[in-house]
Amino acid sequence: MRPAMQKVVAEQQPLFEKAVIVGCGLIGGSLALALRENGAVRELAAVDSNPSSCQFAIELGVVDEAHEELRDAVQDADLIVFAAPVRQTCDLLAELATLPLKKGCIVTDVCSTKVEVCTQAAQQLPPGVHFIGGHPMAGSEKSGVKAATARLFENAVYVLTPPPDADEAAFAKLAAAIESVRAQVLVLEPALHDRVVAAISHVPHIIAAQLVDQVMRLSDHPEHGDLYTKLAAGGFRDVTRIASGNAQMWRDIVLSNRDVIRDLLQDWQSGIAGLLHKLEETEGRGLQTFFHDASAFRDALPTKLRGAVRSVYEISIDAADEPGTIGKVATLMGIHSINLNGVGLIESREEDNGQVLLSFRSKRDMEQGAHVLLVNGFHVYFRD
């Protein structure tokens, strides 16, 4: 069913009477807002051990009620979403298994790794409760429920990892809820999910952190150490941006997927050994082939504006996914003679705010463009 059709159905009758979001931060809060805005749920509750998060969730209208204990919220829930780190989610699943739950209740999560969580859910949750793993490829470097936005999932890939014997009606219902927030559902086996995200997310984060670590150590040189920090403000800062993630969260992610990551890092070591060999070549044909193949593959990736090594001036904006939005933005830039270098939708938006990415040729153009967009009611995020 198409997302537009699903929204009409949701407006007539919610998919879920009551949904409980466990972990009221950026992802959990944004999902609550999106489900509410698109009519997928009638009643929303949050569970968070932090009293201030519960209070903010109520004050901001993210949920109808908030609790500090799991048992106080889930007994009559039709949908339970664990929006907590992987280790905490596993602990909470063990607790959930001891509580009385509504027959037919659907349980899901948003963790960045799937095998560990899905295995524990299959072993512990009682019959009649349907667990379907999930991982929305959306997020932000900002955190907390105050940063939540109903548009966080628009045009983002949302992976679902149902078990082989998943209840078809339960899966269809959860998929419909995900599509109602305008995300693109992709179904994967948990192990395959973990292999893919290890290569495109987990190992790149480790490598970015290792690059930063190397420059950090070089910057301790007594004579010219300051040059490393001064000259790292351009392309180096861009290519290592993901190293700014939460250290505890990334520790848990890596440990949860350690076997796959270990294999990929060993493959990385082999690749480095091959590069060292290519450096010994007189004419550098091997190096040229290496750079050519990498360039060609990268340029063919769907989201071309993201992850550029060169220094660029970029902002992202929250904008409704509807016809004419990008045209309106481009028109505003043209009216004010602002040089817009590129515009596009961000599909896999993990750790990014805003779903429309704008790039400019200069810092001045970027600042002027941001001002114009703010005056015209857009939410603007600077990508530092």
Number of domains, the chain: 3
Among 25-34, 72-81, 294-303, 344-353, the range scoring the smallest mean pLDDT is: 344-353
List of residues 6+ apart from 33 with CB closer than 8 A: 62, 148, 149, 150
Same domain assignment for residues 23 and 160: yes
Q: What is the CATH number of the domain that holds 100?
A: 3.40.50.720
What mean pLDDT do residues 221-227 have?
89
In a domain, 61, yes or no: yes
What are the beta bridge partners of residue 379?
318
Q: At what angle do helices 258-278 and 285-299 cross, to 10 degrees?
A: 140
Same domain assignment for residues 124 and 229: no
Put simply, whether the predicted model's pTM sits higher than 0.85 gets the answer no
Q: Are 350 and 139 in contact (CB under 8 A)?
A: yes
> Hey, what amino acid is at 18?
K
List of residues 6+ apart from 261 with CB closer than 8 A: 198, 202, 203, 206, 254
Range of the domain at 367: 313-382
In a domain, 161, yes or no: yes
Same domain assignment for residues 9 and 32: yes
Closest by CA to 253, choosing from 133, 116, 147, is 116
Judged against a pLDDT cut of 50, whether residue 6 lies above it is answered with no
Q: Are 82 and 20 in contact (CB under 8 A)?
A: no
Q: Are 115 and 142 in contact (CB under 8 A)?
A: no
Q: What is the CATH number of the domain that holds 350?
A: 3.30.70.260
- Across the chain, mean pLDDT equals 86
State the alpha helices, DSSP H only, in the chain.
Answer: 3-12, 26-37, 51-59, 86-96, 115-124, 168-180, 190-197, 203-218, 225-231, 235-239, 247-256, 258-278, 285-299, 325-335, 363-375
Same domain assignment for residues 12 and 153: yes
Same domain assignment for residues 113 and 220: no
Same domain assignment for residues 344 and 200: no
Same domain assignment for residues 270 and 377: no
Give pLDDT, residue 3. Answer: 38
Q: What is the per-residue pLDDT across 230-243, written as a single tens digit (0 to 9) for each?
A: 887 656 777 887 88
In a domain, 124, yes or no: yes
CA distance 19 to 25: 16
In a domain, 306, yes or no: no
Backbone Cα Rg of the chain = 23
Same domain assignment for residues 168 and 214: no
Same domain assignment for residues 66 and 135: yes
Residue finishing a domain among 188, 211, 236: 188
